[in-house]
A and B are shown apart, each in its own frame.
Chain A
Amino acid sequence: GQSLEQPSEVTAVEGAIVQINCTYQTSGFYGLSWYQQHDGGAPTFLSYNALDGLEETGRFSSFLSRSDSYGYLLLQELQMKDSASYFCASYSGNTPLVFGKGTRLSVIA
């Protein structure tokens, strides 16, 4: 089976850095993805880690530690438009993505 745990809510100040953690239990784990979803919108892809380490894409970075079954999404230079829900999702090769329940990020001035 597969399960993912992430905090339900995080609040951070505009311009700051925030880290959203995700722990997973996934049989046959291949990789971890992150998706962003604004209220009323569709989930959209942010990043994917198959190997240990940090992947950087602009202001967003994602980290994976396979030995710890742990990953995180790092958002830098926070902007108000980053207020959204962020989902980690695990990929096990032969089954579609299984999503965590999401972390609602609120960016405040």
Chain B
Amino acid sequence: DAGVIQSPRHEVTEMGQEVTLRCKPISGHDYLFWYRQTMMRGLELLIYFNNNVPIDDSGMPEDRFSAKMPNASFSTLKIQPSEPRDSAVYFCASSSDRGFSGNTIYFGEGSWLTVV
């Protein structure tokens, strides 16, 4: 299996621009998670989906952030407009385990976002 695939790996954008991050989960996984990692706050859960339906988006920082999962093999995280404080590594992860036991969450390589 190819694992969780994210794109782009690196993006540098100007403040105010729209940013779209993409994720392809592992085939057959019913759960998809978006995490954000910064030095100050560590790994934070932004939102997660089950069978393409958003279950909990309480971690989304503000209305500038939105996420969609139009089908089982694709999800996007969009930031519009972007701000310098959004600079972080954004990880997508997927899981097949309803119980969220840690050994079944697989992370992508991350999208490194820099907003200048």
Q: Which of A14-22, A74-82, A99-107 contacts B (4 or more CB under 8 A)?
A: A99-107
Q: Across the A-B interface, how many residue pairs have beta carbons closer than 8 Å?
A: 60
Write out the residue numbers on chain B whose beta carbons fall within 8 Å of the beta carbon of A42. Answer: 91, 107-110
Write out the residue numbers on chain B whose beta carbons fall within 8 Å of the beta carbon of A48. Answer: 101-103
Nearest A-chain residue to B6, judged by Cβ: A42
Nearest B-chain residue to A41, judged by Cβ: B109
Count residues of A near B (Cβ-Cβ below 8 Å).
27
Write out the residue numbers on chain A whose beta carbons fall within 8 Å of the beta carbon of B106. Answer: 45
Flag whether B45 is at the interface (Cβ < 8 A): yes
Chain B nearest CB: distance from A101 CB in Å?
4
Separation of A102 and B41 alpha carbons in the complex (Å): 10
In chain A, positions 17-62 with a C-beta closer than 8 Å to chain B are: 30-35, 41-45, 47-48, 50
B42 touches which of A32, A44, A96, A102 (Cβ 8 Å): A102
User: What range describes how many residues of B lie at the interface?
Assistant: 20 to 34
Nearest B-chain residue to A90, judged by Cβ: B102
B100 x A93 contact (CB < 8 A): yes
Write out the residue numbers on chain B whose beta carbons fall within 8 Å of the beta carbon of A95. Answer: 56, 100
Separation of A33 and B48 alpha carbons in the complex (Å): 19
Chain B nearest CB: distance from A24 CB in Å?
13
**Given contacts A31-B101, A42-B91, is CB(A98)–CB(B45) below 8 Å?**
yes
Nearest B-chain residue to A45, judged by Cβ: B103
Separation of A109 and B91 alpha carbons in the complex (Å): 32
Chain B nearest CB: distance from A11 CB in Å?
19
B102 x A31 contact (CB < 8 A): yes
A33 x B103 contact (CB < 8 A): yes
Known: A42-B108, A43-B107, A96-B56. 7 other contacts (CB 8 A): A34-B102, A42-B110, A47-B103, A50-B101, A96-B33, A96-B48, A102-B42
